[in-house]
Structure 1
Amino acid sequence: MSIANPLRFRRVLLRPLVPILLVLLLLSVGCDDRRTAPPQGTVYSYANGCYAIEVFDDEEGVRYISVGQSQDKFAFTAKTFETATPFHLRASDLGTYLLYDAKRYYFTATQNADKWVFNRIAKLTSAQDKLDEKYKSPAEWTLQVSERDPKRFQLLHYATGRFLSTSGLTDDKTKAAIITLHPTKGCTSYPELSVDATGTVRSKKWDDGAVYGIAEIHSHLMTNHGFGGGGIFHGSPFHRLGVQHALPDCSRSHGEEGRRDVMGFFYDQSKDFDMNSLLPIAANGEVPEFNHFTAGYPKFTEWPNTWRRSTHQTMYYKWLERAYLGGLRLMVQHATGNSAMCQLTLAVKAQKTMYSCNDMVSVDHSIDAAYALERYIDAQSGGPGKGWLRIVTTPKDARDVINQGKMALVLGIEISNLFDCFLNPPEGFKACTTEQVKAKLDHYHKRGVRVLFPVHKFDNGFSAGDGHRGIIELGNFINSGHYSSFVKDCVGISTSFDKGDVIFGGLNKPRDAYNTKAPADMSGFVDDPIAALAPFLSDIRAPKLEGKYCQKHGLTPLGTTLITEMMKKGMIVDIAHLPQKALSEAYKLLEKNNYPATKTHGDSNDGRLYALGGMTGTKLDRCSNGTPGSMGTSLANSVALAKKKGAYPAEALSFDLNGFAGGPRPRFGEDSKCKTEQKKPITYPFKSYSGQVTFTQPQLGERKVDFNKEGMIHIGLLPELIEDARRDGVTDKQLEPLFRSAEAYIRLWEKAEARAKELSK
């Protein structure tokens, strides 16, 4: 048969097949009946919002995540927006979220045999619960731009690094489900603490152009990462999984009634540490009596408490935010810990750690955590740089950040065995060399560290320890294997620690040369503390030595090198923990180079520090003597001396919170130490010093905080501390030097950088 127009014939033949072909085509790619996508933000902009989660898969088409039939699982069975489960998206990091449903369950993914299961879990487990720093929660999901649709998203499972699909998790990006987040209602807010304040912080300067705000120049946000990270110090300033994991009941590590909190037992109750007290603890791994109540979030029965419970967190990020709202604009965050105290707790089997007790291991974890905190606050605020806290590495950065109305965080290190430069190196370590010290200084400078203490509690390769008496004497013996070297031939310079009686008199056997072979081998202390100390029992039990004793030794040549190299880098030397001889030597070195420093414990040595452009930390007096404004006396005296010595007329705070140093007590009630009748307690509401923020009575989980009778139990009560002074009659003009302390610290830092340029020529 001849066809006149073959092309027309094919069209006629195929026309009836077109609808069938279209249906087959649609079936082959899934039915794309997706709702119109709302304007999609960045992967960071969904924090704390309420969303229905649309999941598109080539095979299954459009589905929504919803509760499964068994109620303990999630499924992709909802076919309409209206039947989808609403999720609160709680940021655990930048772009990473917890998916939290209205009944307070989490969307998680775990593998059961060869099958992926999307469990609906009410309570999460953390790395701290497992004492496994590598553990990642199966409830965290990272939001990414979809590989297949740039206007929508995909979800990466944080724990496994695999992508969400309707059939489970997959390694193949091209098979990842396409995610659309639709705003909805019906969510339950994620648990969190309140700031109990209203108002907005706006950029503010003094009339002369100086930055506005308080500097707190000695703090320890991350002490929980010291001491092996297991829970010797309990509570974190934040946690990826939220407040219930940052500030949980401390019985997990401290045991029932806090009996395994050995450090707290001795620090908080001023118990004498001797062999008689150690023996029952070593036998049972716990103290022999009730120690403290353990309840954390949301009850907070006994902690936080800066002046009563030293081994518990007092600077949770929401408390820090409240202090920021009250005028705190610069903080120096020191990584800290104490390997000997950590080893002691392990030795008596009171607690376990998550990683090594080594001081520098603690430092590295603390620095990592500081950057993670910055990200976490950014994540809650909607993206990188949007939070109220920024880590700064130059004085210019600090000035810029504060002028934006934010808070600058400066990183420092306060640790005994700085850079692993031991006086008596343990197995696996060698004595530090000048080249190693320079290399370590370079390394930590690159990590953002700008402040260092050359020495802390114990003798190290840079200097004799700070001379702190009591348990620290025994700790120094355990740490180095050396006896104490206290003598009465003292320089006489004022220090906070190196003075007075020697408590462990039998352990004091001064040596002529500082760096000699240690007479005691403490390498077996962790395995058997009693056996390690047994040969020295008579020395340990000997009576104290009364008199004006001080450390015999000062800076080592390596210590002089450290300070010199710090000056060349424009870093800030904190001289607060140098013993008398080392402090005197450090002053000579600083004065020779006209270089400023900080001394965040104790006084300014008659203004000697101020003359260099340096700073000490001050306080607001806690008791009124009846004369209006008397609670500002210490601040006024410090500022007057600074001004007399030519320094900038301002003074910073130096609480040393989370550093076993206590905090401001109450003026009223049974816990007050005031000797005269106190009047004019705090009442609410009150306005901040700047007038921008109004504070109401602080809520701590389920209970109200009474500052008048409890004191500054955490950093978030800094606004109350300032208002308390104002109620006493301290004028805003008298408080101005405190709110100029951020400017003073920046000027100190600027001088350090300027001198570094000259010294490096």
Structure 2
Amino acid sequence: MHVLRPSRRSAAVPLVLALLAACLAAAPARASAPGRPGEVRGYADLHSHPMAYEAFGGRLMCGKPFDPDGIEEALRDCPDHGLNGSFAWFENFTRHGTPFGTHDPTGWPTFADWPAWDSRTHQQMHHTWLERSWRAGQRILVNQLVANRQLCEVYPLKRNACDEMDTVRLQARRTRELEALIDERSGGPGEGWFRIVTSAAEARRVIEAGKLAVVLGVEASEPFGCRTIGGEPQCTRADIDRGLDEMRDLGVSSMFLCHKFDNALCGVRFDSGTTGVVVNAGNFLGTGRFWRAETCTGAAHDNTIAPAGGLGDVLREPLRHLGMAGITFPLYPSPPHCNVAGLTDLGEHMVRGMVDRGMIVEIDHMSVKAADETLGILEETGHSGVVSSHSWTDANYVRRVYRLGGMIAAYGSPADRFVAEWERNKRHHDPRFAFGYGYGLDANGMGPLPAPRADAAANPLEYPFASPADPSVRLDRLRTGRRTWDLNTDGVANYGLVPDWLADVGRAGGPQITADLTRGAETYLQMWNRAEGSARP
């Protein structure tokens, strides 16, 4: 999940408002033809949030990915947005940089104003849109069950409790309900294209049958209640052990240790600029401390936070010693900045517990100190199960991830920028392991989806187009209800436009990036299989 990015036009807003803003048609599918003997073929999204509508109290996001009564019930705007969207202050702030504004709230069937690539609070992953992506060649979706207690507590409207693990359990249940609904509409139990998987072998069987393997992940800010209050951890090793066992029983295969705020497991990778200021305020509200930063001495660094330099340089050492003693101020020395908080003893216990259970460790959102220490444990144990799923770790760690046999996925961005990141990352891959590339679209993650490419008017994606994963599948512009979307003008307005975006990526990067993306599913399965081999008997 990405942090919300207010517009540069943002005016000053109350702290609570700023904190809220910062915390957070195709032919039928065929069985995937292997690219090499024994390999599956297909795209892999390693980071999206189809069930995020149940997070943050359950009233922040509008619309649902499914409803038994149909799409017209699922894709409704939030009642509190008002007749013209003028009361949608959170949507307005995150989309336009001001709490004031309007939008057409109708949703189905006209979709005049939403979903849109830059709309943060409207549903982007209705199952019919996900189905279009599957039919075009997607074969893995990591469904990140997401939760943030702090955002839930400060947002005034709620229908769900704020306990993060309760939120994770609820989203897992909703995922199984969606699987059952698709089964029912596909001929009965086990017949649907949407299959929750709990092992690499099961995922391979699902993909070989031409279906979508759905992996459950967890991206929570306080896993198992592991927050800190005044520097004191609120969980124990026993809590972590019970929590990991429960997550495995729930079907979870991949987890983050921290997300946005420092917790009892690890320090986080800072957000920068104005966003960093308000997320830092959230860190204070949640933990009783502002972030603690020092000037980095190595190549890796966290994002720069403000204010920095000036008085912060004069008081560098006193601030550092006060921070280590638990007294913090939002005042920092000159960059590059590194979070002084790394992997705690409890965090090390969780990493080793995940290794013992054959789970995949997500290193995005960790401070560089925490990521370095986590990678050291994985190198010591020879554990391949490590992923950077949406461009939120330092580039200096890409080589170490690849040397472990882990996998990199880049955050969804316009085709030219996505290709540039692929080129940088691929230089570091380890030839001992299969190379495939993934993407982390972070749909419903309160970050933007890929915008229209800047030169799309002069160099548009032509419709209809052939799916890069299966040229026998041809796609025209996506139509839902009375709305037709075009990638060139609308960007990735919803998940149904992922095939269009991938075709555009292929046009920008050539056949090699297409080949690497279509090997994404196979590479993920091989990595996952090696991770399971680390599991304790």
1:376 Cα deviation from its structure 2 partner: 1.1
- Mapping of residues 216-295 of structure 1, within 5 Å: 216-229=45-58, 231-250=59-78, 252-270=79-97, 287=99, 289-295=100-106
Partner of 2:402: 610
User: Does 2:217 align with 1:406?
Assistant: no
Cα 1:631/1:473, change in 2 over 3 Å? closer
- Mapping of residues 296-311 of structure 1, within 5 Å: 296-306=107-117, 308-311=118-121
Partner of 1:424: 229
Residue identity matched to 1:446: D
Partner of 1:391: 196
Match of 1:693 among 462, 473, 485: 473
User: Does 2:467 align with 1:467?
Assistant: no
The 2-side partners of 1:432 and 1:214 are apart by 38
1:361-384 Cα shifts (integer Å, max 9, x gaps): 221111111111111111111210
Partner of 1:444: 247
Partner of 2:129: 319
1:197 Cα deviation from its structure 2 partner: 2.2
1:1-58 Cα shifts (integer Å, max 9, x gaps): xxxxxxxxxxxxxxxxxxxxxxxxxxxxxxxxxxxxxxxxxxxxxxxxxxxxxxxxxx
Cα 1:631/1:748, change in 2 over 3 Å? closer
Residue identity matched to 1:218: H
Q: Please tell me whether Structure 1 or Structure 2 has the larger radius of gyration of its CA atoms.
A: 1
- Mapping of residues 581-600 of structure 1, within 5 Å: 581-596=369-384, 597-600=386-389
Residue identity matched to 1:324: W
1:567 Cα deviation from its structure 2 partner: 0.2
Residue identity matched to 2:390: H
Match of 1:562 among 329, 332, 350: 350
Residue identity matched to 1:369: R
Match of 1:482 among 289, 299, 304: 289
1:654 Cα deviation from its structure 2 partner: 1.2
**Conserved 8 A contact 2:43-2:469:** no
Partner of 2:436: 650
1:92-141 Cα shifts (integer Å, max 9, x gaps): xxxxxxxxxxxxxxxxxxxxxxxxxxxxxxxxxxxxxxxxxxxxxxxxxx
**Conserved 8 A contact 2:398-2:425:** no
The 2-side partners of 1:339 and 1:679 are apart by 44
The 2-side partners of 1:634 and 1:218 are apart by 17
SS in 1 for 2:428: helix
1:665 Cα deviation from its structure 2 partner: 1.2
Cα 1:433/1:608, change in 2 over 3 Å? same
1:471 Cα deviation from its structure 2 partner: 2.0
The 1-side partners of 2:412 and 2:101 are apart by 34
SS in 2 for 1:198: coil
The 2-side partners of 1:690 and 1:399 are apart by 18
- Mapping of residues 149-168 of structure 1, within 5 Å: none
1:634 Cα deviation from its structure 2 partner: 3.8
SS in 2 for 1:470: helix
SS in 1 for 2:500: helix
**Conserved 8 A contact 1:680-1:727:** no
The 2-side partners of 1:677 and 1:568 are apart by 52
**Conserved 8 A contact 1:631-1:728:** no
Between 462-471 and 209-218, report the one with greater CA deviation. Answer: 462-471
1:476 Cα deviation from its structure 2 partner: 1.1
**Conserved 8 A contact 1:485-1:511:** no
The 2-side partners of 1:633 and 1:600 are apart by 17
The 2-side partners of 1:729 and 1:264 are apart by 34
Match of 2:34 among 205, 212, 216: 205
1:301 Cα deviation from its structure 2 partner: 1.4
1:728 Cα deviation from its structure 2 partner: 4.7
Cα 1:323/1:380, change in 2 over 3 Å? same
The 2-side partners of 1:313 and 1:432 are apart by 34
1:555 Cα deviation from its structure 2 partner: 1.1
**Conserved 8 A contact 1:247-1:296:** yes
Residue identity matched to 2:145: A
Cα 1:500/1:728, change in 2 over 3 Å? closer
**Conserved 8 A contact 1:501-1:545:** no
SS in 2 for 1:662: coil
**Conserved 8 A contact 1:501-1:548:** no
1:406-438 Cα shifts (integer Å, max 9, x gaps): 010000110101111111299xx9821111110
- Mapping of residues 150-189 of structure 1, within 5 Å: none
TM value normalised by structure 2: 0.85
Partner of 1:752: 531
Residue identity matched to 2:277: G
The 2-side partners of 1:606 and 1:355 are apart by 38
The 1-side partners of 2:324 and 2:83 are apart by 44
The 1-side partners of 2:51 and 2:101 are apart by 27
- Mapping of residues 617-656 of structure 1, within 5 Å: 617-618=409-410, 622=414, 632-644=419-431, 646-656=432-442
**Conserved 8 A contact 1:490-1:581:** no
Cα 1:228/1:684, change in 2 over 3 Å? same
Residue identity matched to 1:721: W
**Conserved 8 A contact 1:391-1:408:** yes
The 2-side partners of 1:709 and 1:400 are apart by 38
1:235 Cα deviation from its structure 2 partner: 1.7
1:594 Cα deviation from its structure 2 partner: 1.4
The 1-side partners of 2:87 and 2:267 are apart by 31
Query: Which blocks of at least 5 consecutive residues in structure 1 are unaligned?
Result: 1-195, 272-286, 347-351, 520-538, 625-629
1:595 Cα deviation from its structure 2 partner: 1.2
Higher helix share: 2
The 1-side partners of 2:265 and 2:412 are apart by 34
Partner of 1:455: 258
1:245-268 Cα shifts (integer Å, max 9, x gaps): 211023x13345444444434433
Q: Matched residues, percent identical? A: 29
1:685 Cα deviation from its structure 2 partner: 5.5
Cα 1:610/1:425, change in 2 over 3 Å? same
The 2-side partners of 1:207 and 1:484 are apart by 48
1:558 Cα deviation from its structure 2 partner: 0.3
Cα 1:511/1:299, change in 2 over 3 Å? farther
**Conserved 8 A contact 2:358-2:532:** yes
The 1-side partners of 2:90 and 2:255 are apart by 25
SS in 1 for 2:57: helix
The 2-side partners of 1:572 and 1:604 are apart by 20
The 1-side partners of 2:348 and 2:322 are apart by 19
1:583-606 Cα shifts (integer Å, max 9, x gaps): 111111111111120012334625
Partner of 2:5: none
The 1-side partners of 2:307 and 2:66 are apart by 38
The number of residue pairs the alignment matches comes to: 499
Cα 1:621/1:421, change in 2 over 3 Å? closer
The 2-side partners of 1:589 and 1:744 are apart by 22
SS in 1 for 2:290: coil
SS in 2 for 1:381: coil
TM value normalised by structure 1: 0.61
Cα 1:236/1:503, change in 2 over 3 Å? farther
**Conserved 8 A contact 1:455-1:577:** yes
- Mapping of residues 484-523 of structure 1, within 5 Å: 484-489=291-296, 491-493=298-300, 498-503=302-307
**Conserved 8 A contact 1:604-1:615:** no
Could you say which structure has the greater relative contact order, defined with CA pairs below 8 angstroms and 6 or more residues apart? 2
1:713 Cα deviation from its structure 2 partner: 1.1
Residue identity matched to 2:212: M
User: Does 2:337 align with 1:549?
Assistant: yes
SS in 2 for 1:452: strand
Partner of 2:502: 722
Partner of 1:661: 447
1:549 Cα deviation from its structure 2 partner: 2.2
